[in-house]
Chains A and B, each alone.
Chain A
């Protein structure tokens, strides 16, 4: 994703409210052997990459810094994933992203840790050459996609497959078709019974009896045909709804 597109997406996301299931906090990076300007550049690249992720609602840096300052300037140094996961829960966020920006060996790199409030923790790294503009964004995105996917997959595995919308729609439409088919069938039956009693309304038509009788007969046939079609369609949709319901069972 291009940088402007990422920024646009980030702005759109920022305008939308976050909930505990989608809120992501990126903790300001620690740095080793790297000037603060470079560390901030890498953090910003990572921030843009997180904001562009499909299920992430990233908290702004200002809000995160204010929140951490309110909590005593920094999160407690947890020794294990369980503790870090509890921190995410306490902060009311779905995921915590931590990073260390390094400048060792003449290269810039970032070591990322993504902690899910549900207990999962994954790590990734990326190198970010200072000579190529935009390269840091691309590499951060690639690295994050590596650690983000397992979290999404893990969540999906715990939830029922699909939302069962399709069978409901099929059953609903099929039911309506059946009801309409029954209606047309009753109408056809009524027409038939009227026409069968000495021509029904056409008995007083005189010379136009034949035309009137033929017209009523056609109307009754159309109603019967429509009824048959609707009943058939309703039955098919009902069967399709049953199949899709069974398909979406967990």
Chain B
């Protein structure tokens, strides 16, 4: 009997997931016509802060500019330049650790993030820009995906043409639409050979690149990080899966002329497990949490004491929501015309936004394009109602929404 009980316990216990992240963020392009980006390194640093508290190891390959180093003290010392050699070296080390995890029965998960320039070459092969040359589709499959020891690999690519920025930088490469370039980077047929790989791609066909200085970030990466912080958890299970991320991005960008949900964003879960979660708030992590209770609604964003907008969302009134935040910082929860300050001082601390003291605040306008982004991004409430409608429009059956059933007898 005891043996049977033990066997049952072992069978029901899910194997431990061990997370790693490899972030490549490069402001510079490989073509002379590609103007340097301003905030790709900022995005890299913020992805680092997003993944570090929940990962065993995070590698950041980026050259942080002076402003970014000032905003992230000490981070520059942990970075390596985004070169091919550094990338292969980091992959080799992470694969070694993940092989050990597998041997111990754990499930290693690697998040591979690229932020920077992308283009399609003369031969039609897509690539993204590293410091010393392009990382081609062939290299991605042959040297990143094929040899990976990760049980699941999450590929997040936000290249320059997918940004929606305030400041136009003008002369960017004229040629094939970036959607084609990204599709060239990831040939669907080749991707089918890697059922453990999920992809989150920005596929904007914009010919002109913008940066939104209000958030010092690319808009797509801002949405992705907001969703993965917990704002995308529509069914309250503490996990954000690919379908929820896709719906979150669609809701957040629905007000923009430049973005129309599915047509410009390509998000596909791993074929091996379509319900696989990109992030899991239930797991132990050195993070604090902001509870936004039922009744609080509208467009909200959390800025930290450095002025960095960490999370943004437009919440439906009828459900509570929790977002994760790094520990040891002061924050402001902001809404239109008002703000409330709070602090996360220890891991697992939960701050109830319903108990915060709000005060009036002014939001500075920065110009016409900023106004448009400020007014139209996150202009649509995201929650169970949007999610169900969005999934229905795609002909997809939503995953469990059991958390809606509050009155369980």
- Whether A77 touches B348, Cβ cut-off 8 Å, given contacts A104-B281, A105-B289, is no
Contacts of A103 in B (CB 8 A): 238, 282
Contacts of A30 in B (CB 8 A): 236, 294, 319-320, 403, 406
- Whether A32 touches B407, Cβ cut-off 8 Å, given contacts A79-B295, A102-B291, is no
Contacts of B287 in A (CB 8 A): 105
Within the complex, the shortest CB–CB distance from B234 to chain A, in Å, comes to 12
Does residue A40 face the partner (Cβ distance < 8 Å to B)? yes
- Whether A105 touches B236, Cβ cut-off 8 Å, given contacts A28-B406, A36-B408, is no
One of B285, B295, B324, B352 near A111 (C-beta < 8 A)? B352
Stretch at the interface among A68-76, A169-177, A197-205: A68-76
Contacts of A105 in B (CB 8 A): 281-285, 287-289, 324, 347-348
Does residue B388 face the partner (Cβ distance < 8 Å to A)? no
- Whether A28 touches B236, Cβ cut-off 8 Å, given contacts A77-B295, A79-B317, is no
A106 pairs with B282, CB closer than 8 A:
yes
Bound form: Cα–Cα A30–B406 in Å: 6
Contacts of A84 in B (CB 8 A): 295
Q: Which chain A residues in 76-110 approach chain B with CB under 8 Å?
A: 77-80, 83-84, 100, 102-107, 109
Contacts of A109 in B (CB 8 A): 348, 350
Most chain-B CB neighbours within 10 Å: which of A28, A68, A102, A125?
A: A102
Contacts of A53 in B (CB 8 A): none
Contacts of B409 in A (CB 8 A): 62, 65
Instruction: Name A110's closest neighbour in chain B (CB-CB).
Output: B350
Does residue B73 face the partner (Cβ distance < 8 Å to A)? no
A73 pairs with B407, CB closer than 8 A:
yes
One of A31, A65, A77, A102 near B289 (C-beta < 8 A)? A102
Within the complex, the shortest CB–CB distance from B348 to chain A, in Å, comes to 4
Most chain-B CB neighbours within 10 Å: which of A33, A104, A109, A113?
A: A104
Contacts of B407 in A (CB 8 A): 28, 65, 68-69, 73-74
Bound form: Cα–Cα A31–B403 in Å: 7
Contacts of A32 in B (CB 8 A): 233, 236, 238, 291, 320-322, 403
Bound form: Cα–Cα A157–B293 in Å: 31
Within the complex, the shortest CB–CB distance from A229 to chain B, in Å, comes to 63
Does residue A189 face the partner (Cβ distance < 8 Å to B)? no
Bound form: Cα–Cα A40–B405 in Å: 12
Within the complex, the shortest CB–CB distance from A84 to chain B, in Å, comes to 8
Within the complex, the shortest CB–CB distance from B310 to chain A, in Å, comes to 16
Q: 7 pairs across A/B with beta carbons < 8 Å?
A: A30-B320, A30-B406, A31-B406, A32-B403, A104-B322, A105-B287, A109-B350
Interface residues, chain B, CB within 8 Å of chain A?
233, 236-239, 281-285, 287-289, 291, 293-297, 317-322, 324, 347-348, 350, 352, 354-355, 402-403, 406-409
Lowest 6 A-B CB distances belong to which pairs? A33-B238, A106-B284, A105-B348, A123-B355, A77-B317, A77-B295
